[in-house]
Amino acid sequence: MNYKIDNLQYCNWSREVFEINREAELDAVHVTIVYHEDYDELLKRVDEWNIRFKDNSDLIFHGKNFKDIEKAKDQKKTAIFFGFQNCSPIEDDIGLVEKVHHLGCKFMQLTYNNQSLLATGCYEKIDSGVTHFGKEVIKEMNRVGIVVDMSHSAEKSTFDAIDISEKPIAITHANPSFWHEAIRNKSNDLIKTLAKSGGMIGLSLYPHHLREGTNCSLESFCEMTAKTAELIGVKNIGIGSDLCLKQPDTVVEWMRNGTWTKTKNYGEGSKKKPGFPKQPDWFEDARGFKNLESGLKKIGFNQSEVEGILGNNWYNFYKNI
Amino acid sequence: MNYKIDNLQYCNWSREVFEINREAELDAVHVTIVYHEDYDELLKRVDEWNIRFKDNSDLIFHGKNFKDIEKAKDQKKTAIFFGFQNCSPIEDDIGLVEKVHHLGCKFMQLTYNNQSLLATGCYEKIDSGVTHFGKEVIKEMNRVGIVVDMSHSAEKSTFDAIDISEKPIAITHANPSFWHEAIRNKSNDLIKTLAKSGGMIGLSLYPHHLREGTNCSLESFCEMTAKTAELIGVKNIGIGSDLCLKQPDTVVEWMRNGTWTKTKNYGEGSKKKPGFPKQPDWFEDARGFKNLESGLKKIGFNQSEVEGILGNNWYNFYKNI
């Protein structure tokens, strides 16, 4: 097998983006369909996706489980798996977990950057871990089959989630902080514990998560990948590019501010650089997978390891959950 | 002046309850109108109250500010002030703070027993304090004129709220834990800091907050009141009875469980005693204010101090905010 999977994109979806993903030979993409939307707003996002599936049925279809990754490869299409970057759609109601699963939700972050009803986000000062409601929701996510995603969560909350969840969890898009000390990146202890429990980390290509940002070199990224593999093993590493192709800057503003503040929060950006950062030239979009492939080989990974990182490891994770 | 105020009731509202409150000569009652309801559900609760105001206009009216307490006394009616025991109605939207104020919200708890988006509830294991969103909401509550109520919040969160809020806050219904070690009761340090900042504590008559519960004696309650006055001064003490007259046990179940768990949480109760506890015989309803009056005098409070505790202190608090 040889599947290519990008396990996190949040693009301004259009036929052009789907074509680029096909050109990159992506068999599956985990797409963020909501951040701060409540359940009713989620229903609208799902409707929008149903129109996209209809209008672009030669390029994409709604992926439900690992077999759809195989089907996508056969049909030269991209299977689209739904995920949430915040738990807003389940509101304060455990009953909505099953409902969002029925709508196709495959991954749900317990928090975005702030405290949620379930756990603490990585931007809060104090991390109290997974809450009472959070424990109940993780149990329910395990039961119905939604992966716990802790990409934007704080450290103790993430350790808690690994501990509480009976199924492996994921950090769909982040990098190790040994390479680049971003608030969103993860400690060695954390990614080791994640991997031991069968969890996956999707390495991110979002400039704020990269050493030297937009100017990060392919070599540096691949070196980081090699060191991560030494630390946690190669089988628990994938890609979650965090590509936000064609998004206007108003979208990153909304991602960071939602409706929780009357002032402006810049998240990983700053007053001087408030918008989406420019991608490195070797990964402007998913066609950069080709560059990753040659870069990872050059750094010393063998063919099977490279294929694992670029998709097969995610495929196995989907298969096991 | 001599106002009588019960600063927390959550009864199964009926003409009979309003008559009892008038018999008790209550000039004002702060009533809980929602726990876990979202904004749309709040609108329904407000509609229900508007019908009650219409049907019982000889007994009650909607109180908006301290002048309505004076008006109530003049007209021999009870002014009803709205409050929330959780922040659910503002959902994740800072813009809703002003809207709920327009609907008449005068008090809002930042949390019920669990973690909220704003702060930590007293039943969580770890208290991370007021969150980023919580800080923004407190600022906005200060601006529009909603009192921060920390009755069901954890300790650090409450210290944070006192510190962050530019206006005095309230603990509308709880007792000091030096007298009875309930999770919901408050430490000496906390009530001292509260009083120093101009905040109020409403002493609770809810059996789970009382030493010996239903069997608590009037003398014991009044001794506790005297010791509290020694600790924090008499002017920051009022009554918040937490009366839940005529409520069926399904209501306390819903208060504790909302929609956050598929199992059953007993809160302050237990599997053996899951329902509402029986009130002590000297405070079966608000007519018990008469017993409090004589009990407080007997323990040594002078007339003006007794009048302060039974209403004037809350009146002054309403006047200053």
What are the tens digits of pLDDT across the range A78-116? Answer: 999 999 999 999 999 999 999 999 999 999 999 999 999
CATH code (residue A128):
3.20.20.140
Is B26 within the bounds of a domain?
A: yes
Chain B positions touching A97 (Cβ under 8 A) are none
Query: How far is Cα B321 from Cα B313, in angstroms, rounded to an integer?
Result: 13
- Of A109, A1, A25, the residue nearest A285 (C-alpha): A25
pLDDT band (50, 70, 90) for residue B151? very high
Say whether B128 and A115 touch across the interface (CB within 8 A): yes
Would you say residue B310 lies in a domain? yes
Average pLDDT, rounded, for chain A = 97
pTM for this model (two decimals): 0.95
Q: Collect all residues of chain B within an 8 Å Cβ-Cβ radius of residue A87.
A: none
Chain A residues inside the 8 Å CB shell of B123: 132
Between chains, do A261 and B129 touch, taking CB under 8 Å as contact? Answer: no
Nearest Cβ partner of A88 from B92, B115, B123?
B92
| Distance of residue A262 Cα from the nearest chain B Cα, in angstroms | 7
**Token pair in block for residue A217:** 């070199």
Contact B136 A263 (CB under 8 A): yes
Length of chain B in residues, anyone?
Answer: 321
pLDDT band (50, 70, 90) for residue B205:
very high
ipTM over 0.95: no
d(CA A28, CA A22): 10
Question: Is residue B130 situated within a structural domain?
Answer: yes
Nearest CB among B123, B131, B140 relative to A124 is that of: B131
Position B303 in a domain: yes
Q: What total of structural domains would you count in chain A?
A: 1
Least Cα distance to B308 among B224, B239, B205 occurs for: B239
pLDDT score for A268:
86
Q: Are A66 and A318 a contacting pair, CB within 8 Å?
A: yes
| pLDDT computed for residue A29 by the predictor | 98
User: What's the CA dihedral at B111, B117, B118, B123 to 10 degrees?
Assistant: 40
Predicted pLDDT at B268: 86
Size of interface A-B (CB pairs under 8 A): 96
Write out the residue range of the structural domain in which residue B33 sits. 5-316
Q: Enumerate the residues of chain A whose CB falls inside 8 A of the CB of residue B91.
A: 38, 91
Model confidence at B321, pLDDT cuts 50, 70, 90, reads confident
How would you class B298 by CB atoms within 10 Å of its CB: exposed for 0-12, middle for 13-18, buried for 19 or more? Answer: exposed
Instruction: Confirm whether B321 is domain-assigned.
Output: no
